[in-house]
Amino acid sequence: MLKAQFDHTNCSDCPIRHRAVCAHCDVDELEALEGIKYYRTFEAGQTVIWSGDQMNFVGSVVSGIASLTQTMEDGRTQMVGLLLPSDFVGRPGRETAPYDVLATTDLVMCCFRKKPFETLMGSTPHIAHRLLQMTLDELDAAREWMLVLGRKTAREKIASLLSIIARRDASIAPKQKPGPIVFDLPLTREAMADYLGLTLETVSRQISALKKEGVIELEGKRHVTIPDMRRLMDEAGDDSDGGFLV
Amino acid sequence: MLKAQFDHTNCSDCPIRHRAVCAHCDVDELEALEGIKYYRTFEAGQTVIWSGDQMNFVGSVVSGIASLTQTMEDGRTQMVGLLLPSDFVGRPGRETAPYDVLATTDLVMCCFRKKPFETLMGSTPHIAHRLLQMTLDELDAAREWMLVLGRKTAREKIASLLSIIARRDASIAPKQKPGPIVFDLPLTREAMADYLGLTLETVSRQISALKKEGVIELEGKRHVTIPDMRRLMDEAGDDSDGGFLV
DNA sequence: GGTTCCACTTGATCTCAGTCAAGGTTTCGT
DNA sequence: ACGAAACCTTGACTGAGATCAAGTGGAACC
């Protein structure tokens, strides 16, 4: 039994809550994964993969944040997804990347070579199922975000983003106290603007406004405290506190 | 061999290009599908399923158009997907619908009872694969649409929508001549506005403008001719004519 | 310790799309 | 044929967010 080599205690890099398909948590056929799994690290700002490039791996984020970004010829850009630790990247059965993947912060990814991974998927229906589930989740998140982009005001957009990051952060370090939520913004104002379909100036102004009105507290430019999560979510226009994730 | 009972000639309702998982095209285990497949029809404006409802079927659109819509408490709505003939609806492994499904026109759907369908999926990896592929396509389309919602001008949004409908229409009746493209708009101005994150007045104005400038021709309010597809796509800000579909 | 660079903030102004309002057309029921 | 209800168009005005521009604060690098 090879399992011992790959169990959680042997893999300090991977967080326990590895939602993605991963040797440590999901696959008994560990022999099949030996040699096709590897780690890659990126510095903040580096491009993981360019839109249109050959994509010969799939994988999941171990630490750091990556973004999926689309760009028009004239330079307008829209972030179409945010990859937080445990999120999966890649398209089984797709040759090229449909958008740029950028390391927003320093980034560690746990990758699998694509071909063998696909083979494994063919012989392990359980993985295909898992992947389908995850893709459906992503689709829901994308569609939820369409409502944000299409119908919310700048202020609501900012509040929506903050509450997503807060919730996501809390679930990774699930010390869910009833008290204030504290986290560091992993995105620059510009990255937030690209995610929200705004300009960085508008982002800055709205954050200042939320701060002045006490909805959030700021220490420096990135360290955020949310004294009352309920209030933030009201600002976001969300009714359901039902957990949609990025 | 039961196949004869279900082959294309026996199913006048279903279009040949049934992209979805369907007894006629994809499954040899036809016995398994007998009794779990049925047709439902809806009139324009009817609700197929409400957000939050129990969803006990999956299926695909045979004819007509359905929309996936999200609504905020204050009534703002955003369409998050358009279901054209051959598109799939439903969430294997999900209990409740995440958004409203509305019949935008008169609608015929080819449905499968969910439980047996899931069972079948478990025993037929081929279907799970197909479904994963389709979900990934939908995800790409949703993300492409995020760029439209977040970064395009009203004019570009209209042009984007028209070119999607035109392309989609052409692929269903693939008589792809190089000449002008002709089709009927399946959406009201209001529905277009909900899809594009605009108001119906703005939609109307932009369509009038495109008409005045000869980018499109209109006969009545719905019958559209596109004399030069290339020009429309320039207006949409799309560079790649690469086929992204709704 | 100063210079440089980068991320951010704030102000002034402009513009695109939203809002409010009125009127036109088509369709459908009686 | 008439009236009502959808659906669509157009105009005048308003306002949220974009654009342009100047300035602040902190970290890194000689």
Is A241 a domain residue? no
- The continuous run of DSSP H or E covering B37 comes out as strand B37-42
Nearest CA in chain B to A75: B151
**In this predicted structure, which of A99-103, A151-155, A202-206 has the lowest mean pLDDT?**
A99-103
Distance in Å, residue B215 CA to nucleotide D22 C1': 42
Cα–Cα distances (Å) from A23 to A228, B190, B202, in that order, read: 39, 49, 52
- A170 and A75 within one domain: no
**Contact check, Cβ <8 Å, A151/B76:** yes
- A16 and A48 within one domain: yes
Domain end: A146, A162, A177, which one? A146
B200/A162 Cα distance (integer angstroms)? 31
Q: Which nucleotides of C are covered by protein (CB under 7 A)?
A: 7-12, 16-21, 26-27
pLDDT tens digits, one per residue of B117-147 = 888 777 777 777 778 888 888 999 999 999 9
**Contact check, Cβ <8 Å, B197/A150:** yes
Q: Which long-range contacts (CB under 8 A, 24 or more apart) does A121-126 make?
A: A121/A92, A122/B125, A123/A29, A124/A27, A124/A29, A125/B122, A125/B125, A125/B128, A126/A26
Q: Average pLDDT for residues A130-155, to the nearest whole number?
A: 92
pLDDT band at B12 (very low <50, low <70, confident <90, very high): very low
A234/A156 Cα distance (integer angstroms)? 9
Whether pLDDT at A20 is above 50: no
Whether pLDDT at B244 is above 70: no
- A140 and A181 within one domain: no
Q: Average pLDDT for residues A213-242, to the nearest whole number?
A: 87
Higher pLDDT, B27 or B127: B127
- ipTM of the predicted structure? 0.86
Q: What is the CATH number of the domain that holds A35?
A: 2.60.120.10
Number of domains in chain A: 2
Q: Which nucleotides of D are covered by protein (CB under 7 A)?
A: 7-12, 16-21, 26
Structural domain of B204: 152-236
Is residue B36 exposed (0-12), middle (13-18) or buried (19+ Cβ within 10 Å)? middle
Distance in Å, residue A188 CA to nucleotide C3 C1': 24
Cα–Cα distances (Å) from B53 to A33, A205, B95, in that order, read: 41, 40, 8
Nucleotide closest to A221 measured between CA and C1': C8
A131/A137 Cα distance (integer angstroms)? 10
What residues does B54 pair with on adjacent strands? B96
pLDDT band at A34 (very low <50, low <70, confident <90, very high): low
pLDDT tens digits, one per residue of A37-50 = 788 889 888 899 99
A214: left (phi over 0), alpha (psi -120 to 50) or beta: left
- A132 and A75 within one domain: yes
Option in B122, B129, B147 nearest A70 (CB) = B147
pLDDT band at A245 (very low <50, low <70, confident <90, very high): very low
- B172 and B109 within one domain: no
pLDDT tens digits, one per residue of B71-101 = 999 999 999 999 988 788 888 778 888 899 9
B13/A56 Cα distance (integer angstroms)? 41
Question: What are φ and ψ of residue B3, in 5° steps?
Answer: -50, -40
Nearest CA in chain A to B133: A93
A160/A12 Cα distance (integer angstroms)? 32
- B107 and B39 within one domain: yes
Whether pLDDT at B159 is above 70: yes
What burial letters (b/e) apply to B82-105, b meaning 16+ CB within 10 Å?
bbbbbbbbbbbeeeebbbbbbbbb
Q: What is the CATH number of the domain that holds A190?
A: 1.10.10.10
- As a whole number, the mean pLDDT across chain A is 81
Is A246 a domain residue? no
Domain end: A92, A124, A146, which one? A146
pLDDT band at B35 (very low <50, low <70, confident <90, very high): low
pLDDT tens digits, one per residue of A55-114 = 888 888 888 899 999 999 999 999 999 998 878 888 877 888 889 999 999 988 888 888
pLDDT tens digits, one per residue of B203-227 = 999 999 999 999 999 998 999 999 9
Domain end: A146, A164, A193, which one? A146
